[in-house]
Amino acid sequence: MSASTALYSRVQRVIPPMEWPVFEPDIEAILRLKQDRHAVILAHNYMTPEIFHCVADIVGDSLLLAREAQHVDADVIVMAGVHFMAETAKLMNPTKTVLIPDLRAGCSLAESITAADVRLLRQRYPGLPVITYVNTSAEVKAESDICCTSGNAKRVVESLGVPEVIMIPDQYLAANVARQTGVRIISWAGSCEVHERFTPAQIRELRAENPGVVVLAHPECPPEVVDEADFAGSTAAMADYVTDRQPGRVVLITECSMADNIAVLHPKVEFVRPCNLCPHMKRITLPGIRRALETMSNVVEIDPAVAVRARQAVERMLAV
Ligand code: 13P
Ligand code: SF4
C-alpha cells in the first residue's frame, strides 16, 4: 500500500474519494517539508480531518497542546490552531521557531479583552486573583496570576482556595465553573462566537428527533445549554467520553470538525451532526500549512518583557 493510500484509509469515512486528489499533493509536500525543516505540526481538535489525521504529529485540546509544546525537540513548530495557541507554544518553548499558517486565525474570546482591561479589573476588585482562560493574548496572560483551559478550569479555581476570584474573559465558562465549585466569580462579557449560538431549545429538538442520543457540550456554551446536556467537558474530555463509553448515538455541541475527527476512530458510534463552524479555525488549511513551511513565514514573536510574565501564568497552570 502506498503512503497516501494508507493515509486515505484513515479518513475515508469522512472524506469522499473524489475530494482526496485535491488534498494529496499538499499532504505529500507537507510530509517532505516537515523532514527538511525539522518541523512538527501541533493540531487542535477543531482542525479538519485531512490536517488532523494526515499531517499532524500531536493532536489534542488546548491543555494538551500547551503541555506538549514544552517537550518539542524539533526546530520548528507549526501550530494548526488559532493565534493564541501559537503564542502559548512560543511561550512554552521560546527557542523554537513557531509558525501559524494564517495570522488572521483569531478568536472572539481573545479579541474581547485587553491588558488595560485586566489592570482596570484589578483596580476595581483589589486583592482578588485573576484566572485567565488560555484563549487570550500573551499581553492579557502577562497581567494574570494563573491561566486555565476548559480542561482544568475547575481544578485551577479550587487550587487557589479562596472564596472569590476574577475569571476572564469567558462569561459562560466562568458561570459554569462557579456552579461546579461554589466559588464566587467576577467575570467579563466575552464569549465564544461558536458555542454561544447553541440554545436549550435546539438540544430538546435534537433529543426529540434522535431518540437515545447522548448530548456532550463544551463548557463555553451558556449554562442553560450545559443543563440540557448529559456531560460537559473540554474537547479532549468529549473525545474521551466517546472512547470510554461508546454511546450508540452521540451529538457534540461544539465546532463541526470535532465530530469528523473522532467519528473516524469510532465506526460503531452514530454521530448526529448539528454543529457550528469556527471561522478562525477554518482559516487553517493544507495549502496554508504548506506555504508557511515552504517560505518559513508567519513567525510568531512575543515581546520578551511580556513573555516572561505570561509564561509564569501558563506554568502555574501546568503545575496545578
Ligand atoms: P479546548 O480544546 O481546550 O476544549 O478548547 C476549545 C476551544 O474553543 C479552543 O479554541
Ligand atoms: Fe475562539 Fe470559539 Fe473559535 Fe475556539 S471555537 S477559537 S473559543 S471562537
Contact 292, 38 (CB under 8 A): no
8-state DSSP, 229: S
Amino acid at 235: T
Per-residue model confidence (pLDDT) at position 6: 86
Residues paired with residue 146 on neighbouring β-strands, in sequence order? 131
Asked if residue 292 has its Cβ within 6 Å of ligand 2, the reply is no
Contact 104, 81 (CB under 8 A): no
> Nearest 5°: CA angle at 170, between 222 and 183?
85
Q: Which three cell numbers stand for residue 254?
A: 461544539
In a mutational test of the pocket of ligand 2, which residue from 135, 173, 198, 221 has the highest number of ligand atoms less than 8 Å from its CB? 135
Per-residue model confidence (pLDDT) at position 1: 60
Residues paired with residue 60 on neighbouring β-strands, in sequence order? 44
157, HSE (Cβ side, Cα atoms, 13 Å)? 27
Predicted TM-score (pTM) of this structure: 0.96
* Ligand 1 atom nearest residue 281's Cα: 10
Residues paired with residue 170 on neighbouring β-strands, in sequence order? 190
Q: Tell the residue nearest (CA) to atom 2 of ligand 2.
A: 192
Q: Which three cell numbers stand for residue 80?
A: 494548526
Asked if residue 135 has its Cβ within 6 Å of ligand 2, the reply is yes
Q: How many whole angstroms separate alpha carbon 20 and alpha carbon 26?
A: 11
Q: What residues in the chain have per-residue pLDDT under 70? A: 1-2
Per-residue buried b or exposed e for 234-263, using 16+ beta carbons within 10 Å of the residue's own CB:
bbbbbbebbeeeebeebbbbbbbbbbbbbb
Closest by Cα among 281, 253, 215 to 45? 281
Q: Tell the residue nearest (CA) to atom 6 of ligand 2.
A: 107
In a mutational test of the pocket of ligand 1, which residue from 46, 52, 133, 283 has the highest number of ligand atoms less than 8 Å from its CB? 46
pLDDT tens across 252-293, in order? 999 999 999 999 999 999 999 888 999 999 999 999 999 999
Per-residue model confidence (pLDDT) at position 273: 85
Closest by Cα among 179, 188, 193, 100 to 143? 188
Q: Which domains does the chain have, with CATH numbers?
A: 3-105+281-295 (3.40.50.10800), 110-191 (3.40.50.10800), 195-272 (3.40.50.10800)
Q: Which three cell numbers stand for residue 268?
A: 460503531
